[in-house]
Copies of this chain bind each other. A is one copy, B any other.
């Protein structure tokens, strides 16, 4: 809890833009728990990972303000938006929790590293704030998130009450579902990859161009510890993830390889 306000302060970002269905749904749920500040990209910023804008100045637009809810749109990436609101727009208040999403599309498996939704949660973790990213397995702009919302509420309530281990944030993925979600599993990130990643086309002037596309190939379809495995089976997946990418168990191997023992 912050000291100058009895209500928890909940900061929300995303990568689909400040006006997406997913962030509006998450904002409604978050308001049940406290004051909400939304700081999200002005435009759609999917696949932006933890990208930051070093070459361009950023602009902020205050979209709306009412008791308990302020909405900002930021001209840059999801990470830019979170950095900017924390540094410039909270008048010294510290959020009790940072939420990201609800993303339109899965952020399971290797997509974790490309995800702007995760970029928000990772940036919150850099700043020592408890953070949860939510993603839903449909790219549809008009989707009914209702089957997810009890689980969203439960996670927000527990993290607000008990915090998270200091070195992790949570990557939560919901399977597309018309009825109740089958359950919740704590998972690891599948280490698969996208294959057939580009479609080559020719423009009206005879020049080639390429669209990113592709199919996800899991590392091991029988590994029942992963986010991909469980979301494919109708379960919500919660993966604790870290910004520390050091491969600690490989330090000795690499020292040996470089003859530095």
Interface residues of A (CB under 8 A from B): 44, 46-55, 57-60, 77, 79-80, 83-84, 86-88, 110, 112-114, 116, 119, 122, 126-127, 154-155, 158-159, 162, 164-165, 167-168, 170, 184-186, 188-189, 191, 193, 196-198, 200-201, 207-212, 238-248, 250-251, 253-255, 257-260
Contact = CB atoms under 8 A, between A and B. Distances in A.
A223 B47 CA distance: 34
Given A49-B52, A52-B114, A59-B209, 6 more contacts: A51-B51, A54-B212, A59-B208, A84-B198, A167-B247, A189-B245
Contacts of A259: 158
A254 to B, nearest CB: 5
A113 B50 CA distance: 6
A111 to B, nearest CB: 10
Contact of A188 (B119, B164, B200, B248): B248
A191 B243 contact: yes
**Nearest 10 CB-CB pairings of A with B:** A49-B49, A49-B50, A57-B209, A188-B246, A240-B250, A51-B51, A47-B52, A240-B247, A241-B245, A168-B247
Contacts of A86: 197
Contacts of A243: 110, 113, 191, 245
Nearest to A189: B246
11 contacts: A47-B52, A48-B51, A49-B50, A49-B79, A50-B50, A60-B208, A83-B197, A155-B258, A165-B250, A188-B244, A241-B247
Contact of A126 (B77, B110, B159): B110
A49 B247 contact: no
Contacts of A247: 165, 167-168, 240-242
Given A51-B49, A59-B207, A246-B240, A258 B184 contact: yes
A80 B51 CA distance: 13
A164 B87 contact: no
A48 B54 CA distance: 9
A91 to B, nearest CB: 14
A46 B50 CA distance: 12
Contacts of A47: 51-54
B241 A246 contact: yes
Contacts of A119: 49
Contact of A254 (B58, B79, B186): B186
